[in-house]
Amino acid sequence: MTGEIINMPLHIMKPKLDFSKTNLTIETQAGLSRYILDHKEPGGYLRAVLENDLMTAIQTADSANLKQLKALCNWIFNNAPGDSWGDQFTVDNWIYGEEI
């Protein structure tokens, strides 16, 4: 069976995001994965970062998130689709689609 292609529904073969070169917490990785791959609403801290809202991001971050803020911004800039982050409208559009 080696090398054999298996017919599998595409929803089972969901792509995975690469967090191997970052020190983001597992919770942040899970939140990013749900947001980017499934278009699910992120938590307040992650949403603030995705919207480039520094004041809210810092106010809502716990100590672990504060320590990883720069790494999170770098990961988003280098890995997240460009149309998934930037401001509130862009984040809303990513989650809810064009109808907003």
Residue pLDDT, tens place only, 57-92? 999 999 999 999 999 999 999 999 999 999 999 999
Of the candidates 79, 91, 89, which has an alpha carbon nearest to the alpha carbon of residue 41? 91
The chain-wide mean pLDDT, for the chain, equals: 89
C-alpha–C-alpha distance, residues 45 and 60, integer Å: 5
Task: Identify whether the C-beta of residue 84 lies closer than 8 Å to the C-beta of residue 91.
Answer: yes
Res 16: pLDDT: 86
Angle between helices 69-79 and 26-38 in degrees, nearest 10: 30
Domain limits, the chain: 26-96
User: Quick one: DSSP state of residue 80?
Assistant: S
Q: Each residue of 21-34: pLDDT tens digit?
A: 999 999 999 999 99
Instruction: Please check the confidence at residue 1 and state whether its pLDDT lies above 80.
Output: no
25-45 average pLDDT score:
97
Q: Is 12 a residue whose pLDDT tops 90?
A: no
pLDDT score of 76: 98
Counted residue by residue, the chain has a size of 100
